[in-house]
């Protein structure tokens, strides 16, 4: 069986996470790596820190047989690469996606799609004009508890949604990343675009397009970014849906990703008590889900699709990823203006 050959751009927290996932796959092989940082080009990840799922980074990654580049624009032209996986900081996603598609590669890019609406329009044009496959790291769609809930909800098992709340709270990540880029709002888009986007995306994925958003936010730890945000999503059907995200708690605080969705027939919670479904008739259920991460599921699926030549549309379409990006941009506008913002799709 021919392995899918991966070229990875950026070997920080997410790049090293993807590296280890591909390394353990029987159907994939990392053949190229690009990073602007000389230490990373030797596989040294000793300074890499993330907010969840941290691995032991004390030993260098094994780059035997991996062609190493300084620039991702050289990597995308490597004839041995089938898939370009983009894990560099957000402002460079758009140019790398467009260059990789122009070079005839399939693309898996980390979220967010890109940094602003102008870049998003350029990416949209490139994606709409290609036959290559493109998926983004909207990993929470594939995270087992969220996935289970999504599938049951969409099958109508719980009935109509009445209220929903999603929360994603991280300890302070200042100093974790390359050049501390998360703490520069102009580069990262703050916790709003970088982290809370996952919940914005879940709202869109579960319940369809909100018509407008009302957001409040605070700048606490970064230079100019929205470090904490609370958003009310307006829906024509009257469902009360809100989400909160932030990264300004002390470093010793645990990472929290939680939700509660109240529907006509049941309430589903991923909270301190675990993952549970509370039925209207009094029954309490603890669904069993696979002990894995959304990162493993989304990459395994994408590699499988590339290998079989099947369009990877199980977890996402480009249009709904683009919708989520536009909603997040509207949330930032609402924070900035103090007003409810109607979303232009
Ligand atoms: N899906 C998730 O759960 C998740 C989690 C964390 C980060 N992310 C996303 O992954 C991306 C990377 O974040 P991170 O936490 O790994 O950051 P990081 O700072 O830890 O790593 C970035 C890496 O990219 C390299 N780099 C910087 N500019 C580059 C360029 N122009 N070309 C090639 N390499 C370059 C850096 O040297 C570094 O090794 C971001 O877009 C972030 O939003 C996603």
Helix count (H) and strand count (E) of the chain? 10, 15
Does residue 314 lie in a domain region?
no
Contact 86, 14 (CB under 8 A): no
82 and 162 fall within a common domain? no
166 and 132 fall within a common domain? no
Strands 134-136 and 106-109: parallel
Contact 289, 276 (CB under 8 A): no
Does residue 301 lie in a domain region?
no
Strand order from edge to edge, sheet including 83-86:
67-69, 28-34, 4-9, 83-86, 106-109, 134-136
Identify the DSSP state of 38: T
- Examine the fold and report which residue of 136, 171, 196 is the final residue of a domain before the chain moves on: 136
Determine if the pTM surpasses 0.95: yes
Contacts of 313 (CB under 8 A, 6+ apart): none
Atom 8 of ligand 1, nearest CA residue: 14
18 and 155 fall within a common domain? no
207: left (phi over 0), alpha (psi -120 to 50) or beta: alpha
CATH number for the domain harbouring residue 123: 3.40.50.720
Q: Cα 59 from chain centroid?
A: 26
106 and 187 fall within a common domain? no
- In degrees, to the nearest 5, what angle opens at C-alpha 55 toward C-alphas 219 and 137? 60
Nearest to 263 by CA among 149, 126, 339: 149
Can you give the pLDDT at residue 54?
Answer: 75
How many angstroms is it from 291 CA to the middle of ligand 1? Answer: 25
191 and 60 fall within a common domain? no
Does residue 307 lie in a domain region?
no
Q: Tokens 């829906």 label which residue?
A: 235
89 and 216 fall within a common domain? no
Q: Measured between alpha carbons, how far is 328 from 170 in angstroms, rounded to an integer?
A: 18
Burial, 96: exposed, middle or buried (Cβ in 10 Å; 0-12, 13-18, 19+)?
A: buried
Residue 60, token pair as written in the block? 């260098």
Q: Measured between alpha carbons, how far is 292 from 219 in angstroms, rounded to an integer?
A: 34
Q: Measured between alpha carbons, how far is 191 from 183 in angstroms, rounded to an integer?
A: 9
194 and 53 fall within a common domain? no
194 and 334 fall within a common domain? yes
How many angstroms is it from 109 CA to the middle of ligand 1? Answer: 10
Q: How many CA atoms lie within 13 A of 68 on its CB side?
A: 15
Atom 3 of ligand 1, nearest CA residue: 139
- Examine the fold and report which residue of 107, 136, 165 is the final residue of a domain before the chain moves on: 136
Atom 25 of ligand 1, nearest CA residue: 10
110 and 89 fall within a common domain? yes
Residue of 87, 97, 197, 328 to test ligand 1 pocket, by largest number of atoms within 8 Å of CB: 87
Does residue 303 lie in a domain region?
no
Provide block-wise average pLDDT over 10 residues at a time, the chain (345 residues).
93 97 97 98 92 84 97 98 98 98 98 98 98 98 98 98 98 92 98 98 98 98 97 95 97 96 98 98 98 98 98 97 98 98 97
Does residue 274 lie in a domain region?
yes
Q: Measured between alpha carbons, how far is 23 from 4 in angstroms, rounded to an integer?
A: 12
What is the DSSP code string of 307-321? HHT----SS--HHHH
CATH number for the domain harbouring residue 221: 3.30.360.10
User: Does ligand 1 have an atom closer than 6 angstroms to the CB of 294?
Assistant: no
User: Does ligand 1 have an atom closer than 6 angstroms to the CB of 201?
Assistant: no
Does residue 49 lie in a domain region?
yes
Query: Which structural domain range is residue 201 located in?
Result: 140-293+324-342
- Helix (H/G/I), strand (E/B), else coil: 106: strand
Backbone angles phi, psi at 136, to 5 degrees: -120, 155
146 and 71 fall within a common domain? no
Q: How many CA atoms lie within 13 A of 298 on its CB side?
A: 24
Does residue 315 lie in a domain region?
no
Neighbours of 216 (CB within 10 A): 15
Cα end-to-end distance, the chain, whole Å? 42
Kindly report the length of the chain. Answer: 345
94 and 132 fall within a common domain? yes
Burial, 195: exposed, middle or buried (Cβ in 10 Å; 0-12, 13-18, 19+)?
A: buried
Does residue 122 lie in a domain region?
yes
170 and 222 fall within a common domain? yes
How many angstroms is it from 206 CA to the middle of ligand 1? Answer: 27
Beta bridge partners of 278: 267, 284
How many angstroms is it from 15 CA to the middle of ligand 1? Answer: 7
Can you give the pLDDT at residue 1?
Answer: 63
- Examine the fold and report which residue of 110, 136, 162 is the final residue of a domain before the chain moves on: 136
User: Does ligand 1 have an atom closer than 6 angstroms to the CB of 36?
Assistant: yes
Q: Tokens 């996935």 label which residue?
A: 147
Q: How many domains does the chain have?
A: 2
Can you give the pLDDT at residue 34?
Answer: 98
User: Does ligand 1 have an atom closer than 6 angstroms to the CB of 190?
Assistant: no
């Amino acid at each position: 069986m021919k392995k899918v050959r991966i070229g990875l751009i950026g070997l920080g927290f997410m790049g090293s996470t993807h590296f280890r996932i591909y390394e353990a796959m029987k159907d994939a092989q990392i053949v190229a790596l690009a990073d602007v940082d000389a230490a990373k080009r030797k596989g040294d990840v000793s300074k890499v820190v993330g907010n969840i799922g941290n691995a032991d980074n004390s030993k260098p990654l094994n780059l035997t047989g991996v062609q190493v580049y300084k620039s991702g624009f050289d990597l995308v032209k490597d004839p041995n690469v089938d898939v370009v996986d983009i894990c560099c900081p957000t402002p460079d996603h758009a140019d790398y996606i467009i260059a990789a598609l122009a070079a005839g590669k399939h693309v898996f890019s980390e979220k967010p799609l890109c940094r602003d609406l102008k870049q998003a329009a350029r990416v949209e044009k490139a994606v709409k004009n290609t036959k290559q496959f493109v998926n983004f790291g909207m990993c929470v769609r594939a995270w087992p508890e969220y996935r289970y809930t999504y599938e049951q909800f969409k099958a109508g098992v719980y009935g109509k949604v009445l209220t929903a709340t999603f929360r994603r709270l991280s300890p302070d990540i200042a100093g974790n990343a390359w050049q501390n880029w998360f703490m520069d709002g102009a580069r990262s888009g703050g916790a709003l675009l970088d982290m809370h986007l996952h919940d914005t995306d879940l709202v869109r994925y579960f319940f369809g397009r909100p018509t407008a958003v009302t957001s409040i936010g605070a700048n606490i730890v970064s230079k100019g970014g929205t470090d904490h945000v609370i958003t009310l999503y307006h829906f024509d059907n009257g469902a009360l849906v809100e989400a909160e995200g932030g990264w300004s708690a002390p470093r010793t605080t645990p990472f929290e990703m939680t939700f509660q969705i109240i529907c006509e027939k049941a309430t589903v919670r991923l909270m301190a008590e675990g993952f549970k479904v509370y039925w209207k008739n009094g029954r309490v259920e603890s669904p069993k889900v696979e002990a894995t991460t959304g990162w493993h599921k989304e990459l395994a699926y994408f590699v499988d699709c590339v290998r079989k030549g099947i369009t990877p549309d199980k977890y996402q379409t480009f249009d709904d990823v683009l919708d989520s990006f536009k909603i997040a941009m509207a949330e930032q506008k609402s924070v900035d203006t103090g007003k409810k913002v109607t979303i232009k799709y």
